[in-house]
Amino acid sequence: MTPRQNRNRDRADRGIPEATVARLPVYLRALHGLQDRGVATVSSEELATAAGVNSAKLRKDLSHLGSYGTRGVGYEVEYLVYQISRELGLTQDWVVAIIGVGNLGRALAGYGGFASRGFRVAGLLDADDAIVGEEISGMAVEHIDRLEEVIAERSVSIAVIATPAGAAQGVCDRVVAAGVTSVLNFAPVVLSVPDGVDVRKVDLSIELQILAFHEQRKAGGPDGYGDGPPGPAHYVEAVDA
């Protein structure tokens, strides 16, 4: 039989590669920038440059959504914005609750990119009584005890966890039990969730450590040059900073 599955869907195959999905928001942002500048049509080369990828990758990515370009011309900006938005599910509003209202939670609550791009923050919750009641970006902070009510009453579908590490798993369990199936986690812990729940993690410290690795390499490799002194025999004191 043929190697492919029986039904090779014509266009807009729903099996869009993860790597492509992760880039669609970048393309979308670049397209919005072009829109603001009044650009009506864009070539794969131009859009790719604006998005920081190469044009072959961009064309391949867009081909997973369908044939939305015109050969010999390029892509119509407005049309492509709509198609990508629809594919990402941004033509509807997603209701978000932010749990943990420290500096990070405040930064998230005030982030303009939320409201403007299909996300509506409908709840700010915290366990600290000193913070509860405070008004942030026009919204009053509620006590975490009301978490389940808030999720149910306002149909929250995405939970943003910005609590300290120790509280994160507990909060996660509660939001999942309340029916949330998408979690964005800023706490530096690996959350465990049942199948069917999506968790994405944003971790500053990990990003910095990756940078440090490359920075060190630029400076001549770990411990100086070449092999250095590794090996089980050279068990130096653990330098726990």
Partner DNA sequence: ATCTGTGAAGCCGTTCACAGCG
Partner DNA sequence: CGCTGTGAACGGCTTCACAGAT
Q: Using CB under 7 A as the criterion, which residues of the chain lie in contact with DNA when the complex forms?
A: 17-20, 42-45, 53-57, 59-60, 62-63, 67-75
Tokens representing 101 are 């209202």
Tokens representing 125 are 């919750």
Please give the Cα distance from 147 to 174 (Å, whole number): 8
Calculate Rg over the CA atoms of the chain.
Answer: 23
Minimum separation from the CB atom of position 172 to DNA (A): 22
Site for a copy of itself in 99-128 (CB under 8 A): 102-104, 106-108, 110-111, 113-114, 116-119
Please give the Cα distance from 241 to 66 (Å, whole number): 52
Q: Are 187 and 164 in contact (CB under 8 A)?
A: yes
Q: With CB cut-offs between 5 and 8 Å by kind, which of a copy of itself, DNA, none does residue 184 bind? A: a copy of itself
Could you count the other beta carbons within 10 Å of the beta carbon of residue 209?
Answer: 10
Minimum separation from the CB atom of position 153 to DNA (A): 37
Is residue 91 within the footprint of a copy of itself (CB under 8 A)? Answer: yes
Q: With CB cut-offs between 5 and 8 Å by kind, which of DNA, a copy of itself, none does residue 130 bind? A: none
Please give the Cα distance from 214 to 210 (Å, whole number): 7
Minimum separation from the CB atom of position 7 to DNA (A): 14
Minimum separation from the CB atom of position 16 to a copy of itself (A): 8
